[in-house]
Amino acid sequence: MPATKQQIRQIIADNNLKSVADVYSLLRDSFKDILQELMEAELDASLGYE
């Protein structure tokens, strides 16, 4: 589901994004966190914790 313009503006304001480097850093950190959660969920499922 794509973000609305208002949501994008809010993300920019909340994270004080001023440059492309700031956006890149936010995306990199967000991707890292999402990937970590997915890997942990997959491991939990394969070990039968869920």
1-50 per-position pLDDT tens digit? 899 999 999 999 999 999 999 999 999 999 999 999 999 999 999 998 86
| Predicted pLDDT at 6 | 98
Instruction: Judge contact between 22 and 15, C-beta under 8 A.
Output: yes
Structure token pair of residue 21? 């480097």
| Predicted pLDDT at 37 | 96
| Predicted pLDDT at 20 | 97
For residue 37, the number of C-alpha atoms closer than 13 Å in the C-beta half-sphere is: 6
Instruction: Judge contact between 11 and 17, C-beta under 8 A.
Output: yes
Query: DSSP assignment of 15-49, as one string?
Result: TT--SHHHHHHHHHHHHHHHHHHHHHHHHHHHHT-
| Predicted pLDDT at 49 | 82
| Predicted pLDDT at 22 | 98
